Amino acid sequence: MPVFLDTTNPGFEADFQALLGAKREDSPDVDAIVADIIADVRTRGDAAVLDLTEKFDRIALTPETLKFSADEVATAVAQVSPSDRAALELAAERIRAYHERQMPEDASWTDDAGATLGWRWSAVSAAGLYVPGGLATYPSSVLMNAIPAKVAGVERLAITVPTPDGQINPLVLLAAELAGVDEIYRIGGAQAVAALAYGTESVAPVDKITGPGNAFVAAAKRRVFGKVGIDMIAGPSEILVIADKDNNPDWIALDLMSQAEHDESAQSILISDDAAFGQSVADAVERRLETLERRGIAGASWRDYGAIITVRSLEEAAELSNRIAPEHLELCVADPQTLSEKTVHAGAIFLGQYTPEAIGDYVGGPNHVLPTARSARFSSGLSVMDFLKRTTLSQMTPEALRAIGPAAEALAISESLEAHGLSVRARLEALND
C-alpha cells in the first residue's frame, strides 16, 4: 500500500520529509567497474568495445559490423506496420514543430559608449545519443533526443543502441531515420559512452552525449563529463498528480500507474483536497494492478514509493508540489492554468483532466527528457538549447575604448594583473599621440 499523509496531522512534516528523502535511485557501487571500462576503451579502442559487447550483450561483432548498414536499417524499417509508422511520423512532426520554436536569435547592438556588442548561437558539431536496449526500448526517446539536436543544427548525430542477442526494435531504427540520425552503432553500456566520448578506430568522438541509461551508463556519463558535455544524470521516473474530487478515479489511477510501470524505483504521488477521492483512487489502483501486464513492476513501485496526500486546499497542494519539484506534474483541477502559475518547480506540467502525462511521452510536442529527483528546482528538460552554444561578440571603436578603457585599466591594476592593464593603456596612449 502507498503512504497516506494528511497535512492536518501533527506528524505530517516529519512524514513528508521522509517521503522527500526516500532514496529511490538504483545506485550499486558501479563507479570502479565503469572507470575500468572507460580506461579499457581508451587504451584498446574497438577491441575493448567488441569484447565488452560480446560479454554483456552476447553478440560477436567486428569493426565492420559495429555500425548498422543502410541496407540493415532499410530491412528493419520495412517490418514496421503502417499504423506504427503513421504514429511515429505524427510524433516526429509534432516534436520537430515544437522545438523549432525554441531556436534563439542572434543579437547585435551599439551601446551609448559606441561599443558594438552581441551574441551568436551555433550548434555543437557532433552529438551522441544513448538509446537503451534489452528489457525495454524506446523509439520515442530517439525522437525526443535526436530531433532537438538536428533542429539546433548539429552536423553529425550518432546513436548507440545495445542489441542483446542481436535483437533490435525496428521502431528504434525508423525513429532514427525520421529524426535524421547519421550513424547507428549496435553497442551499449559504459563502453558505448566511452566510445562516444573518446573515440575508437571505428567510432568518431562527439562533443555532447544525451539519453537515458542504467546505473552503468549514468556513472559513465558522470566520468566523461568535461571531456564532453552531457544532458543530465536522470534517476527513476516520477509523477505528481494534483486532483480535486471532480475527476474519474480510474483515470487518475492509470496516470499514476503510467509512471509506476516504468521501474520498481519510480514514484507516483497523488495530492487531493478530498480524502474520500484519494481513497477512491487508491482502490482503483488496486483494481488495475490485478490486470496490468507490468503489474509486478508497477505494484512494487506503488507499494514502496507511492503516496496519497490530503491537503486543506489547492494552494497548499501547490506549495507541496514546489517542494517535491516533480518530473511530471498533472493538474486535474477546475482551473489548471491558474494553479500552474503557482507551481514553479516541475519538469513538465500537464493541464486539465484530458491531458494525461502519456501524451507528453509521445505526441504532445514538448520534450519528455526531464529532470528527476527534485532537480527541477534548478534545471530544465532537454531542448534545442542543450545542443547550442552562445558566443559573445564585442567590438570597440577608438571612441568607445577612450570612454570605458580607463575603467578596465583601473580594475586590472586593482587585481594586480599588470599585463591586462598595460594592454589597454598601450592602445589609449596610441590614440592620444
> Which residues have a catalytic role annotated?
327-328
Q: Residue 110 pairs with which residues in a beta bridge?
A: 116
How far is the C-alpha of 180 from the C-alpha of 1, rounded, in Å?
A: 45
Beta bridge partners of residue 154, listed in sequence order: none
Q: What is the dihedral of CA 65, 70, 71, 72, to 10 degrees?
A: 50
Please give the biggest Cα pair distance in the chain: 89
Choose among 190, 120, 187: nearest CA to 153: 120
DSSP 228: B
331 conformational bin, left if phi > 0, alpha if psi -120 to 50, beta if neither = beta
Cell of 196: 562516444
Quote the strand ranges of 131-197, DSSP E. Answer: 156-160, 183-185
Query: Coil, helix or strand for 379?
Result: coil
Q: Coil, strand or helix: which one is 357?
A: helix
Exposed / middle / buried, residue 426 (Cβ in 10 Å: 0-12, 13-18, 19+): exposed
CB 191 within 8 A of CB 49: yes
Contact (CB, 8 A) for 325 and 345: yes
